[in-house]
Amino acid sequence: MPEPILKLNGLEAFYGDFQALYGIDLEVTEGEVLAIIGANGAGKTTLMRSISGLTQNQPSMVQYLGNDIGALRADEVAARGIALVPEGRQLFPSLSVEENLIIGGQIGRKGPWSLEAVYKLFPILQERRHQQSTSLSGGQQQMVAIGRALMANPDLILFDEISLGLAPIIIKDIYDALPGIIGEGMSALIVEQDITKALSVSQRFYCLQEGRVSLEGASATVARGDISRAYFGVE
Amino acid sequence: MEWVNAIVQGTLLGGLYALFAAGLSLIFGVMRLVNIAHGDLIVLGAYLGLSVTTILGLHPLLALIVVVPAMAGIGYVLQRGILNQTLGKDILPPLLVTFGLSVIIQNALLETYSADPQKMNAGALETASVSLGGLSLGVLPVMTFAIAVVVIALLQWVFYRTALGRAFRATSDNQEIAQLMGLNRRHIFGLAMALALAVTAIAGIMLGIRTSFDPSIGGGRLIFGFEAVIIGGLGNLWGTLAGGVILGVAQTIGAKIDPGWQLLAGHLTFLVILAIKPNGLFPRINE
């Protein structure tokens, strides 16, 4: 079993007085694709925010490559090689498509991803590269958001609800492209409400329910009934 | 011809107002900070210029070489040390803190330089003029206007053509996501304030060559700067230049009608534009 690159040790997260996560333990090994599933409000996005440094935690609650990163700022976490494709895409409206990609790469980490590589993956973006990012369709914006994260040449990439608000045909395109993206030795954490999609691209999954891990296992062999119970919390 | 003269002189005066306003516009554009101390920082720039010219015996324009980097340094430290702590969802803390800063700067200048009006000596430049088709143009106002155009063109270039400008725009768009790109917003804001105060240094020195100044005049410069920014439209640097020119022309035309009307005419023009187009004439930021 390869070494875990990301390790969560009893991660707890709060929004003011509201506790969103209760002691999450989780591991991602090198090159692994992990799915996080769960209903709305289960704590999936909070989990992403905690890992990426947008929400600060106790230092040892998030360990990356053996180092405590729980208390680091998001820009410090990014510099260590974790990139997030945020929910709702969140492109920079003042920047052109190409500028959005360039700013993703300004961290200066070495690796296979460059403007050329992203344009090769999503040729439509090269055609639209001088347009304002907000003028693109939802699916194209999602491509920019993914490309922007890849430009940082991360070792671990987090996808937060990448199919949200997109047409099924676009979702299929993006999921078809995923293996080519993650295939470069990168590890990935995929947060998704569409359970079938999430399980189809991942090796293992964790199901969250009300801030706790309600089920974890191998994506290929899990029984649907178990997931339903873990997902909705009904017997 | 007298009216043409008033319009031309007002346009040139607008260059100075645009210099007052450019720093304000930049700061608001990048971090939504309304800097009440901006006028006093302009005056601080003028006094630093005065000290450099008297101590080193330099021409005021050469003093820019010292004062511009000094003000930029002050800007970075000010932002990292104090102003970053005030930024958040609430817009009140930065207003209060910069208001306090304004009081502190005024009193520090009063202690250091006294309340006596001062002026920088720029020698022949102050009175030199050129004749152009029946108009007599002061070399200094023409130079100020040219500097304003160059400064705004440079800021525009930085904003839209450089990595720093890209970082400014990204951070302005969405601070959290910019952090995810590895941009430390505290540092980016520090750089924005440094750039703004570098421009403020130029504004202060051009002001100090043109007229006499004392520690209390910051408030008035702040108002002119604000009016130029609002008239031109928030976030649009060329609009800020246009705003400065409109304000300058309104003032000189007002003064032409009756010398007592100079400031009033400027304020009234501002109010009318605000009433008709609350977002300014050329807004770029849609709130």
What is the full DSSP assignment across B212-273?
A: -B-GGGHHHHHHHHHHHHHHH-TT-HHHHHHHHHHHHHHHHHHHHH-GGGHHHHHHHHHHHH
Q: Report the alpha-carbon distance of residue B166 to residue A99 in Å, rounded.
A: 7
pLDDT band at B286 (very low <50, low <70, confident <90, very high): very low
Interface contact flag, B182 A95, Cβ < 8 Å:
no
pLDDT at B287: 39
Query: What is the per-residue pLDDT across B51-65, written as a single tens digit (0 to 9) for each?
Result: 999 999 999 999 999
- Which of A30-34, A50-54, B1-5, B17-21 has the least mean pLDDT? B1-5
- Please give the backbone phi and psi of residue B87, each rounded to the nearest 5 degrees, phi first: -80, 135
Strands B129-132 and A212-218, sheet pairing: unpaired
- pLDDT value at B285 more than 70: no
Quick one: pLDDT at residue B88?
86
* HSE value, Cβ hemisphere, 13 Å, CA-based, for B256: 16
pLDDT at A1: 58
Q: What does residue A91 show for φ and ψ, rounded to 5 degrees?
A: -75, 165
Amino acid code (one letter) for B5: N
How far does A193 lie from chain B, in Å, by closest CA?
22
**The model's pTM:** 0.92
Which among A182, A18, A176, A150 has a CA at the least distance from the CA of A82?
A150
A106 at the B interface (CB within 8 A)? yes
Distances, alpha carbon B241 to alpha carbons A120, B193, B205, B214, in Å: 43, 19, 18, 26
3-state helix, strand, coil in chain A (%, to 5): 35, 30, 35
Residues B178-193, mean pLDDT to the nearest whole number: 96
- Summarize the confidence of residues B14-28 as an average pLDDT: 95
Residue B174, chain A, CB below 8 Å: the answer is yes
Residue B44 has pLDDT above 70, yes or no: yes
Asked if B179's CB is within 8 angstroms of A74's CB, the reply is yes
Residue pLDDT tens, chain A, 235 long: 567 899 999 999 988 888 999 999 999 999 899 999 988 888 999 999 999 999 989 999 999 999 999 999 999 999 999 999 999 999 999 999 999 999 999 998 999 999 999 999 999 999 999 999 889 999 999 999 999 999 999 999 999 998 888 888 888 888 888 888 887 789 999 998 888 889 999 999 999 999 999 999 999 888 888 888 888 876 5
Facing B173 at nearest CB: one of A79, A92, A102: A92
- The per-residue pLDDT of chain B, averaged, comes to 94
Contact A153, A112 (CB under 8 A): yes
Question: Mutate which of A51, A92, A159 to disrupt the B interface (most B C-beta within 10 Å)?
Answer: A92
The DSSP output letter for A102 is H
The pLDDT tens digits of the residues spanning B105-129 come to 999 999 999 999 999 998 888 889 9
Q: Which of B47, B96, B63 is nearest to B215 (CA)?
A: B47
Instruction: Give the tokens for residue A109.
Output: 């980490």
pLDDT tens digit sequence for B199-208: 999 999 999 9
Q: Between B227 and A179, name the one with better pLDDT.
A: B227
- Closest Cα partner for B226 from B12, B7, B27? B27
Cβ pair B170:A86 closer than 8 A: no
- Work out the minimum CA distance from B182 to partner chain A, whole angstroms: 4
